Every structure is written in structure tokens, then in C-alpha cells.
Structure 1
Amino acid sequence: MSAAPPPPGSLARRATLIDVARRAGVSPATVSNAINGRRYVEAGTRLRIEAVISELGYIPNLRARGLRTGKANTIALFSSMPAAVSSGPAKLGFMMEVAMTAALAALEKKLALILVPPQSLGVEDLKMDGALVIEPCVDDPYLSGLRRRGVPVVSIGRPPDTEAVMPFVDLQSAQTAALLLAHLSASGARDIALFIGDTGRSAYQDTEQDYLRYAAQHGIVPRVYRLNEIDGEQAGFQAALALRRDAPQVDGVLILVDTFAAGAVRAFTQSGVSIPEEMRIATRYDGIRARETWPGLTAVNLHLDEVARLAHRSTFFVDVRSDTSATLLEPGRGIGYQRLYPPGARR
């Protein structure tokens, strides 16, 4: 039996949960359970409810549900990396790789995923049930705001603040640094410098520590350039020029941020330094920036799809009121580098 059409000249009344329950011959609670999946509903009854929902065009009122349950049915994804690094040619690559997998995981749980623009909004007015924070920096504004609100948080990358107790997915930054340094050495580099950001992210800290160990073991003078993230590609460009002026014998650079690496490649090329014959360059993330830079860069597959799945899943097991120790989660896959070339370029 179809629903009666509305009188001429009137607006169609929106179907309610009560309407669905009456048409399906069940209680409103059963309809709610069938929609939300919180309690078992017999398969035949569920199919009947779904058919009525389709027939009546019923759309659940998420705002009303949120008021009843106190939940927003939303996970938010944050990154404090400046737009000069993450936007533009980089196309938010790191964040978007995480977001794609996290969005699929959210949909499976009937949740929405909000992408918060880098360095744009505070957290006080956002409604969310949990948050993923990508590689927080020291005194990260998002992380501190989320903790004040008591929002369950999982960090993608170890939080640099040792007093911050929260679950995190380990991006294995030290292992990645060791891998890339070994690759530069195997490629012929004998004097290697390091470019990192100046915000104290754990990836910077771990990479610098591993680089200093490498320098001591190989008897080279450590050269660490700390770049301002806000300056983006230009920071890498200026650092490369300074390196050529200060230490022209350097023949390899580990540049942790791909945007910095793109700037360094431009500086070396304009200075007449051939890559990779005279200067070997490696960066951490094999995103759009690394793939489109020419000459080609060595980069690492960070398995961000698996990282995002682990992080999203972990938000459902976090209780900030009782959490007393950080949970170390690892992607659990090997890391490998690859040589990247633009489409159509000769291998």
C-alpha cells in the first residue's frame, strides 16, 4: 500500500520514524535498532523495515539523534602542517591519503569524517566523537584543545610531548631514516646533510637522532638545517643554496619533507649541480610532490592506508578518563624505497 499523496498546493510532510514503525507493524524502538544496528533485529523484520523506509523516503534526523545520544556520529581529522607544505602542488597528499581510508572506515560504522583545514579552525565549536591528529608538533594547538574537551584522540605519529598520554600509530620514523641514509650511502654519497622542519614533530626528532648516530659512525661532520615550515618550498631552496655555500663537498641530502625537497632540487639544478650524479637526494613520503619532482627523488611507501585503518579503529577503544599509558600501534609492514620518475620519462 503506497502513501497517500499530499493535498494539492501543500508541501509533502516528511516521514517520521513513527510513520515507518506503523507501516512496518513494529515498535519505534525496533525501527531505531534496525537503522542503528545497536541491537539484534530479525532478518525478515529488518528487510520489512528497510522496504518501508524506501517506500516512505524516510531520512533519519541525525541532529535529533545526536541530541538524544549525546553523540555527533562524526570523526574529525586534523593536521597542523602549514598550507605552504601541505597545499599547493602537494595537494594535501599526506592528509588525503589518510582521509580516504579513514572515510571508508567511518562509512562502515555509519559515521561521518570531517576534514579540518590545516591551521584554520579551533576545536571548541566542532562537534565530534573522536579525532585523528596527523603528526602533531610541539605544543600542537589542535592536540591541546582536544585534550581540554576530553575528546578521544589517536595520533598518527608519536606525539612529541612525552607527557601527552594517548594512543598513537608509530610511523617508524627512525627506521625510515636509517633506510634512506643507507640508500644514500649505497648510491655513492659520502658526506650527507639533513634538512628537517623546526616544529619538533617526532619524525624530525627521530630522524635527527638517527642521522647524528650515522654521522658519528661514518666520521662525517653533522650538518642539520632546521627549516621554517611556513616558508614551504622556498625554505628548501634557500637551505640548498646555503649548503652549497657552506659545504660544497656534500654529495647527499636527506630532506624529510617533500616540499622542502622540491625546493632543494630547484636550487641545485639552477646552481648547475647534477642530480643524482653530483647530489643524491632522498625524502620520506612518496606523495604527489615527490612523484612530480624532476630529477627523480627516492621516497618511501609509508603504507598510509594501513596507518589510517589502525588509527580510525583505535578511536573506538579509547577512554580518555581511564587511559594511563600510551598504546603503541605499528603498521606492521616492511618499508621500502623506490626510484620515482615522471610519466613518460626514460628509466
Structure 2
Amino acid sequence: MRVSLKDVAQRAGVSIKTVSNVVNNYQHVTPAMRARVQQAIDELGYRPNLTARHLRKGRTGIIALALPELGNPYFAELAGAVVDAAARHDYTVLLDHTGGLREREILVSQGFSARVIDGLILSPIELETEDLRARSDDAPLVLLGERRYDLPHDHIAIDNIAGARAAVRHLLDLGRRRIAFLGARRDRTHQPAHLRQLGWQAELAASGVAEEASLIGPTQGWERSDGAGAMAALLDAGQRPDAVFAYNDLIAIGAMRVLFERGLRVPEDVAVVGFDDITEGRFGAVTLTTIAPDKQAIARLAVESIIASLAGEENRPRQLQPEFALVARESTLGRR
């Protein structure tokens, strides 16, 4: 049978209220009393009934998280961080995959009821402002990523232009001058690839290095195969860069594979920088230099935004900008 607060109270020889205070981490409990109750909890194996706790507050205890690509390691790692952040507030995360398709993003943004979830964290790719204005669901919404909407919802995104400039500055400081950009998406100017290309251009211009359009490698997607294809296309066209800045780590990893197959050394012949700091980049034959967004901060801010909205806190909407860091590894520095 399920262990109750009453069972714990009887084992500890205290009131049910005292047990509740300990379970809910209220401050006005003496250390000795807290230890006594905790011992009883451990002995009986008591677990709080989180569902009942949320229902008493008129909530479900569920936050929905909708991401464009669960197969992408960056989004998988971000999802794990959101799950961990939500758990610290006794929330469960319901995960959905939109594929970056507008119809799926509309369905997710409008298809939940506040009676099903307490809040939605959404990373949109194609969603338009009018889609969100038509939203009837009154559950709190937090937006992730680079799309800007003039709407009363918190928005969380790192500074992609600044991150790209830091990557290019690192390569320039190493003496590289023919720096390719892989991952351009010329048909979608609202995506992060466009912002990262702008950062590439801005840092080259600030350093007096001529931008070479022939060193821009467009891709259709974000995968390793896209990076391999873009790198092969540049080399086949006789455009050999001395460095590559890739839209993300997967494209960078695909590019490094082609460089290896063509007999080019990383970083001696071509230095490579990615973006996202996925785990895979730390364990290749050549570890990957990358721009590392603070995924833990993104997750924490998103969950805390939902919690604050549920508590009725004002000062919305907010534009929140987590930090990033350049992590230099073997793909630019070599083995030391």
C-alpha cells in the first residue's frame, strides 16, 4: 500500500502538519525535527503524491516542450536540460516534435488546453505572428530561438551574431583568412543560419578581410550529410578554404569527414569551428572547437518563466539572452 503522510507522522511521532512542512521544505522546522522526519521518510520509502499536490492548486503538473528536430543532438540535449529543470519544480515534461513544419507548429501552439498542460515551451521555425495571435489556449507560452514576435510571450535566445563573430575572430587570430561558411539558408532569412552568416560577414569586414561569396556553402538541412555535401561542393569547385565556420556541429563534423577523405589535415590545412557544443564533438578523432550556448540556462529560464507566469508575476514579455562561450579544441588548436 502507498505510504501516506499519516504513516510517516506516526513513525516519527510528530503531527501530519510537521511532516508536510518537511516535505514542502518550509523554513520554520528545526534541523533536529527535519532529520527525525527525514529518517522516517527514508525508512518507509515515502514519495510525495505530486499529482494531488498540483491538482490542489488547479494545475496538471505538466509542461509541454515542442522542438523542431529531436534527432538533432542539440535539441536532444536541450530537452534533457528542460526535463531536469522542470523536475526541480516537481513538473513533468510532455515532449513533441514539430519537424520545423508550420502546420505542426500551429497545431502544437493552438492544440493544447490549459486543462491538459500548465505551460508550453516552443522552439518555432516557420510559425508566423498571426498564427500566435490566433492562439486560443491560455496556458503560458515561452518561445525559444531566433524568430521575433511582437507578442506578450517571453522569448529566450542567445546572440547568434555575437557567437558567430567570436568563432570567426578565433580563426582570424590563428592567422586564417579564407574562412568558409557552411550552412547558409538563403531562402529563410529568419533562421539562425542567417544570423550566423551575418556574424561571419561582420567579423570579416571588421578585420579588413574580403568576404568571398565562393566560400559560402548552402545546405538544405542541418545534418552531417549536409556538411559533407557542402564541403565536397566547395572543394570540387576548386575553392579550398584554410578554415571553416559551420552553422552547427553536425555540419562541421560532416565537413571534417570530407576533408579527411580528400587528404586534408584538420587543423593544419583547414581549421574547423562548429556551433552548439554537442557531446559528439568532444569525442571524435579530432575534437571540435565550437560555440557553446548555455543550454542549462536556456532550460532553467524557460521553466522559470512558466512558473512565474502561473504565479501571476507581471513584467511580461521579456527578451532573455543566455550566455555562450567559445570552446577551443583540436580542430583549431591541434593536439598539444
Query: What's the TM-score, normalizing by structure 1?
Result: 0.70
Aligned partner of residue 309 in structure 1, secondary structure: helix
Is 1:204 paired with 2:193?
Answer: yes
1:114 shift after superposition: 4.0
Of the candidates 77, 84, 95, which is equivalent to residue 96 of structure 1? 77
Is the Cα contact below 8 Å between 1:20 and 1:31 reproduced in 2? no
Is the Cα contact below 8 Å between 1:255 and 1:281 reproduced in 2? yes
CA distance 1:148–1:339, change in 2 (3 Å): farther
**Residues 82-126 of structure 1, C-alpha deviation per residue, up to 9 Å, x if partnerless?**
62xx1xxxxx355325624x4444333222334445749964468
Opposite residue 194 of structure 2, the aligned amino acid is Q
CA distance 1:106–1:303, change in 2 (3 Å): same
Is 1:229 paired with 2:229?
Answer: no
In structure 2, the residue matched to 1:107 is 87
Distance (whole Å) between structure 2 residues aligned to residue 61 and residue 337 of structure 1:
42
Aligned partner of residue 218 in structure 1, secondary structure: coil
Aligned partner of residue 307 in structure 2, secondary structure: helix
1:224 shift after superposition: 3.3
Of the candidates 180, 184, 187, which is equivalent to residue 193 of structure 1? 180
Opposite residue 267 of structure 2, the aligned amino acid is P
In structure 2, the residue matched to 1:297 is 288
Is the Cα contact below 8 Å between 1:194 and 1:224 reproduced in 2? yes
Distance (whole Å) between structure 2 residues aligned to residue 15 and residue 226 of structure 1:
59
Of the candidates 115, 138, 157, which is equivalent to residue 150 of structure 1? 138
Opposite residue 243 of structure 1, the aligned amino acid is L
Distance (whole Å) between structure 2 residues aligned to residue 36 and residue 179 of structure 1:
46
In structure 2, the residue matched to 1:4 is none
Aligned partner of residue 106 in structure 1, secondary structure: helix
Is the Cα contact below 8 Å between 1:151 and 1:320 reproduced in 2? no
In structure 1, the residue matched to 2:268 is 277
Distance (whole Å) between structure 2 residues aligned to residue 320 and residue 210 of structure 1:
38
Distance (whole Å) between structure 1 residues aligned to residue 46 and residue 311 of structure 2:
36
Distance (whole Å) between structure 1 residues aligned to residue 154 and residue 261 of structure 2:
45
Of the candidates 267, 277, 288, which is equivalent to residue 258 of structure 2? 267
CA distance 1:60–1:319, change in 2 (3 Å): closer
Is 1:244 paired with 2:235?
Answer: yes
CA distance 1:118–1:339, change in 2 (3 Å): farther
Distance (whole Å) between structure 1 residues aligned to residue 25 and residue 317 of structure 2:
29
Identity %: 23
Of the candidates 64, 85, 106, which is equivalent to residue 76 of structure 1? 64
Distance (whole Å) between structure 1 residues aligned to residue 134 and residue 329 of structure 2:
39
1:202 shift after superposition: 4.5
1:295 shift after superposition: 3.5
RMSD over aligned Cα, in angstroms? 4.2
In structure 2, the residue matched to 1:137 is 125
CA distance 1:328–1:269, change in 2 (3 Å): same
- The 5-angstrom pairing of residues 29-40 of structure 1 reads 30=17, 34=21, 37=24
In structure 2, the residue matched to 1:8 is none
Is 1:258 paired with 2:249?
Answer: yes
Opposite residue 328 of structure 1, the aligned amino acid is Q
Is the Cα contact below 8 Å between 1:169 and 1:329 reproduced in 2? yes
Distance (whole Å) between structure 1 residues aligned to residue 27 and residue 175 of structure 2:
63
Is the Cα contact below 8 Å between 1:155 and 1:166 reproduced in 2? yes
Aligned partner of residue 195 in structure 1, secondary structure: strand
Of the candidates 287, 299, 313, which is equivalent to residue 308 of structure 1? 299
Is the Cα contact below 8 Å between 1:77 and 1:131 reproduced in 2? yes
Opposite residue 255 of structure 1, the aligned amino acid is A
Aligned partner of residue 168 in structure 1, secondary structure: strand
1:271 shift after superposition: 2.1
Query: What's the TM-score, normalizing by structure 2?
Result: 0.72
1:80 shift after superposition: 0.7
Distance (whole Å) between structure 2 residues aligned to residue 254 and residue 152 of structure 1:
37
In structure 2, the residue matched to 1:174 is 161
Larger of the two Rg values belongs to structure: 1
State which drifts further: 173-182 or 309-318.
Answer: 309-318
Is the Cα contact below 8 Å between 2:63 and 2:119 reproduced in 1? yes
Unmatched 5+ residue regions in structure 2?
none
In structure 2, the residue matched to 1:5 is none
Is the Cα contact below 8 Å between 2:273 and 2:288 reproduced in 1? yes
Aligned partner of residue 175 in structure 2, secondary structure: coil
